[in-house]
């Protein structure tokens, strides 16, 4: 959303989601029953701010720890 022009969001990195999903698939391929593979959630979230949009609406973009996109 932010890459398409939205101002900001807090969310996950899809690379982290892919790694977590791959780990679960490995368990299944090694013979674990689906019912034995626990539901997983991600606990690392990231702030992402679109600098171009922030500048256009006179909003801050220099937020500590934020990933800046243009």
Return per-residue pLDDT of the chain as tens, 70 residues. Answer: 899 999 999 999 999 999 999 999 999 999 999 999 999 999 999 999 999 999 999 999 999 999 999 9
In this structure, are residues 68 and 61 in contact, taking their beta carbons and an 8 Å threshold? yes
> Closest by alpha carbon to 70, among 46, 51, 49?
51
Model pTM above 0.85: no
So what's the pLDDT on residue 46?
Answer: 95
């Amino acid at each position: 959303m932010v890459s398409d022009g939205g101002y900001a969001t807090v969310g996950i990195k899809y690379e982290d989601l892919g790694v977590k999903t791959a780990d679960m698939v490995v368990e299944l391929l090694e013979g674990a029953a689906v019912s034995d593979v626990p539901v997983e959630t991600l606990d690392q979230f990231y702030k992402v701010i679109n600098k171009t949009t922030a500048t256009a609406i006179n909003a801050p973009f220099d937020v500590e720890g934020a990933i800046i996109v243009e």
